[in-house]
Amino acid sequence: MRLEWLRRALAVMGCCVMFAGMSACGGGGGGGGGGGGLPILPPTAGPVPQQPAPAPTPTPTNRVVSESIQSGFTGAPYPLSVYLPAGYDQGSDAYPVIYALDGDATNGLPQTRFANLMDVLVKRGTKAILVGIGNTGRRQEDYNFPGAFKYHDFLAKELIPFIDAKYRTNPKNRMLTGLSTSGNLAATALFLEAPDNLVFSSFVSIEGAFWQQEAQNNDLEKKMFDALAGRPLPVTLILASCISGCNQQYVRALYQRMAARGYVGLQLLSTEFNATHVGADVLAFEDAVVRIYK
């Protein structure tokens, strides 16, 4: 009896040991299904934090700045409108500067001369700063002699240093442009600067009213020619006019006079447009921009 009992006890113990081994092995090799332990999974991760969307890159735009300057030479204040082209604020390049006389004059048009010329630069994508010079009420005094001597000093010694100090400008690339009476100074400023004090690199005179002081203009041009004594004059002078009427004959006369001199290095151009006296302004200016800022 005892022996039989011992055999049965050992058999039960062996089954328990076998069962325990199978449980530790995960249940019989896993191929037959049937109950092994639950699979061990990594801990569940929390929600992925959302990254903020990158800020959109601002589109470069142009802008206009209002300035003002008081001249010690003329004793008068001059409001200024300064156009900065698209991309100016995002870069570090130096820009050509166009100085527009009669900047606040409308000449019977819906916009000022400054606004009309700015539209040309925007349309063409020209990378240049435009400075519109106001106080047009002084045009006869400032643009004709003797007042033009002091006004030119204002441009060269006060206004240009003022603009150069505040904006990134290219001192080797400056244009002066005017219409009608201001077109006088846009040409005769060259006679005051050459040969040794060139401030502007291009002069764009549109429908210049040279009949107002023809003898004095011619005298100043001769003095410039004599002072050069054959030396190069490395600037551009554009004399623009209407095709008929207007100031065409006086503009042509100055062009022919200077062309006959054979100035060395001078880019002297005569352009004519089928437009009115005022209407020629935008056409001639855009033509000059295409030629100079290629």
The edge-to-edge listing of strands for the beta sheet with 169-179 is 63-70, 77-84, 129-133, 95-100, 169-179, 202-206, 236-242, 267-273
Q: Directed axis angle between helix 214-228 and helix 248-261, to 10°?
A: 20
What are the tokens at 37? 């332990």
pLDDT 10s per residue in the chain (294 long)?
A: 444 544 554 444 444 434 344 444 344 444 444 444 445 455 555 566 667 766 666 678 999 999 999 999 999 999 999 999 999 999 999 999 999 999 999 999 999 999 999 999 999 999 999 999 999 999 999 999 999 999 999 999 999 999 999 999 999 999 999 999 999 999 999 999 999 999 999 999 999 999 999 999 999 999 999 999 999 999 999 999 999 879 999 999 999 999 999 999 999 999 999 999 999 999 999 999 999 997
Give residue 6's pLDDT.
Answer: 42
pTM of the model: 0.81
Distance CA 87, CA 94 (A): 11
Q: Tokens 């249940």 correspond to what residue?
A: 27
* Domain spans, the chain: 73-292
- List of residues 6+ apart from 168 with CB closer than 8 A: 88, 92, 93, 94, 95
What dihedral do alpha carbons 71, 75, 77, 78 form, nearest 10°? -60
Tokens representing 217? Answer: 């203009």
CATH 3.40.50.1100: does it fit domain 73-292?
no
Token duo for residue 226:
């004599």
Measured distance CA(175)–CA(155) in Å, rounded: 12
Query: At 182, which helix (H) or strand (E)?
Result: helix 181-193
Tell me the C-alpha to C-alpha distance, in Å, between residue 237 and each of 65, 183, 202, 230. 29, 12, 6, 18
Alpha-carbon distance 133 to 78, whole Å? 7
